A and B are shown apart, each in its own frame.
Chain A
Amino acid sequence: MLHAKIVDTKEKKLSIIEAENFISSHDYGASIFFTGTVRNQNDNKSVIGITYDSHDALVTNSFHEIYDEANQKLNIKDKSVYIEHAKGYLNLGEISIIIAVACKHRDQAYVLSRYIIEEIKKRSPIWKKEHYQNNDSAWLEGSPIINEKN
């Protein structure tokens, strides 16, 4: 079972309670909640907030692909996964991503949670623009997507 969504920060905030409600089940004995939040320092600069941009359709597709791959690559078939990523401006401490997973056993839950966040970092088209205390702002450099079709 998968919930995958990009959330406009003007519409709502990401909620761990909603994630917990989605993955809760008597079928599973282990749950992991991963959140990414806006921190106040990067590269020796004082950060006051981040604007997130996203290609929504590609990102949602990538979340589904990553979920499906977990069947094959990790052999974790029984699972419940909740992934939401914010789009728009977030202040310090606000949640930019929630990955909540529930599996039968803890080993699976830890592996699955880590796999999802690392794959999102590699292939989900999401971008960050940091805003600094001196009123400056900058897009972070990021990593190129490897185009297997070339």
Chain B
Amino acid sequence: MKVVIELFGASRDFSNKNLIELDIKNNSTIKDVRGKILDYLDLNFKGNKNFIKIVNSSVFCSNNNIISDNYKITNNEKIAIIPPIGGG
């Protein structure tokens, strides 16, 4: 199945489309998706260390709620990645 990752903040540099689409197994969780994003970065950015750090320190959001690493994703679900913040 597919999942769409909406990019925000520093993660916008992961793609010029402001999102990335990933193929994932049924019943995948956010923990699995985090791993898939790291695979994507390895492939497209030769494992850019700064990008990896961003992914490992991000939380994820679905339907405008922060979700846990155990959250199970449904097919074609849109998930937002929320990197470390700093507004004001």
| Residues in chain A within 8 A of chain B (CB atoms) | 36, 52-55, 57-59, 61, 85, 96-97, 117, 120-121, 123-128, 139-145, 147, 149-150
A121 near B57 with CB under 8 A, answer: no
Q: A55-B61, A58-B82, A61-B64 are in contact. Are A97 and B8 (CB under 8 A)?
A: no
Name the A residues within 8 Å of B66 (CB-CB): 58, 145, 147, 149
What is the CB-to-nearest-CB distance from A38 to chain B, in angstroms, rounded to a whole number? 11
Count: A-B pairs, CB below 8 Å: 87
Name the A residues within 8 Å of B67 (CB-CB): 149
Bound: A149/B83 CA distance, A: 16
B68 near A150 with CB under 8 A, answer: yes
Name the A residues within 8 Å of B86 (CB-CB): 121, 126-128, 140-143
Q: Is B2 an interface residue (CB 8 A)?
A: no
Residues of B within 8 A of A (CB-CB), count = 22
Bound: A149/B66 CA distance, A: 8
Name the B residues within 8 Å of A121 (CB-CB): 86-88
Q: Which one of A36, A58, A125 has the highest number of Cβ atoms from chain B below 10 Å of its Cβ?
A: A125
B88 near A127 with CB under 8 A, answer: no
What is the CB-to-nearest-CB distance from A40 to chain B, in angstroms, rounded to a whole number? 17
Bound: A143/B86 CA distance, A: 6
A126 near B84 with CB under 8 A, answer: no
A96 near B85 with CB under 8 A, answer: no
Proximity bits, B1-44, A CB within 8 Å = 1, else 0: 00000001110110000000000000000000000000000000
